[in-house]
Amino acid sequence: MPRAKPLLIPCALALFAAFVSACSDPVIFDTPTTYQWVTSPLDFPHLNAVWGDSDSSLFAVGMGGAIMTFDGSMWRPSDSGTDKNIMGVWGIAGADVFAVGDGVILHSDGASWSQTAFGGVFFNAIWGSSSADVFIVGNDGKVARFDGAVWTAQTSGTVDHLSGVWGSSSTDVLAVGTNGTVIRYDGAAWGADADLDINHFNDVWGSSSSDVYAVGSATGESGSNVYRYNGTIWKPVAVGTAKELHGVWGLSRASVFMVGDDALVLRFDGATWINSSPRTFSELMSVWGSSAGNIYVAGASTLVFNGRIN
């Protein structure tokens, strides 16, 4: 589960929105991979996830009910109606967005957020194939599915905490969590898919049903913090670091991003894993982008970084 780490960011690193006491101009970090990183610290607690449907429609969620929206020029707070921690966000479009967290399921129609209570379950992640086919996963193996009208609890077959969910279709959905747990939904029921040699998984994403990454915290003989599924078997992947990875997202098989501790950003170009990290020490929790040349990462110290290729 994401953990907030206090970090003091000097004013020289800050690009605040108009509603925050502003510093000077945006700070741009150049990396050897030609990325420029612009920091946008937000006046809210630790952020856990970021998602968008375009560069002018982004959502970042975090602790204490924090939801921030970005219209292409400015980040603004959005009233979530809750003070509960929000862990995940996903949507079909800017006017059809879901967010989940500590006993709450939220939905935005573009104008306001509505709330659905769900038995006090702590949900960590969300994914869907459509607005009428949405999955959420959480602690103690809890899983629920939305059919466009109601949320229904499902039997996952595990009591491990689940922290990531992704699918290639409504009949092929994967969830990952503690103790190397991987479970799969086939359209009818959830079942065990793998029990891998890793301390815990934090996130999962794939470009297809035969190209899936799960990331987390390494342990055991393999020492791997990343596993990749090729359609038949999960195998550990060497990405050049043992740091804990919290988020994974991509555009295709040849364009994958991972983020983690110490502001780690890894980029896969189809052949090589490249360290594309900004020069800071924040823990990064989530990544999303509109293209390989324009990505957003969010995490501790309320940071949102926007990375663009020169």
Walking along the chain (310 residues) 10 residues at a time, the average pLDDT comes out as 34 24 35 67 82 96 94 92 97 96 96 91 97 98 97 98 98 97 98 93 98 91 85 95 95 96 92 85 90 89 71
Please check whether residue 100 is in contact with residue 88, taking contact to mean a CB–CB distance below 8 angstroms. yes
Contacts of 37 (CB under 8 A, 6+ apart): 28, 29, 31, 278, 305, 306, 307
Q: Would you state the structure tokens that stand for residue 138, as one six-digit string?
A: 């959480």
Q: Mention every residue, 6+ apart, whose C-beta is less than 8 A from residue 103.
A: 84, 117, 118, 119, 120, 121, 122
Which of 15, 2, 29, 39 has its CA nearest to residue 306?
Answer: 39
Tell me how far apart the alpha carbons of residues 78 and 136 are, in angstroms, rounded to a whole number: 22
Distant-in-sequence, close-in-space partners of 10: CB < 8 Å, separation ≥ 6: none
**Which pLDDT belongs to residue 277?**
85
Q: State whether residue 207 is helix, strand or coil.
A: strand
170: Cβ–Cβ under 8 A, 6 or more apart, which residues? Answer: 129, 130, 133, 187
Instruction: Please give the pLDDT value at position 21.
Output: 27
- Whole-angstrom distance, CA of residue 254 vs CA of residue 250: 8
**Residue 273 three-state SS:** strand
d(CA 282, CA 284): 6
Task: Tell me how far apart the alpha carbons of residues 192 and 161 are, in angstroms, rounded to a whole number.
Answer: 14
pLDDT of residue 292: 86
As a dihedral over the C-alpha atoms of residue 205, residue 207, residue 210, residue 216, rounded to 10 degrees, the angle is: -20
Q: Which residue has the tokens 């809890």?
A: 142
| Domain residue ranges in the chain | 33-309
Which amino acid is it at 265?
V
Instruction: Look up the CATH number of domain 33-309.
Output: 2.130.10.10
- What is the model's pLDDT at position 34? 57
Question: What pLDDT, on the 0 to 100 scale, is given for residue 310?
Answer: 54
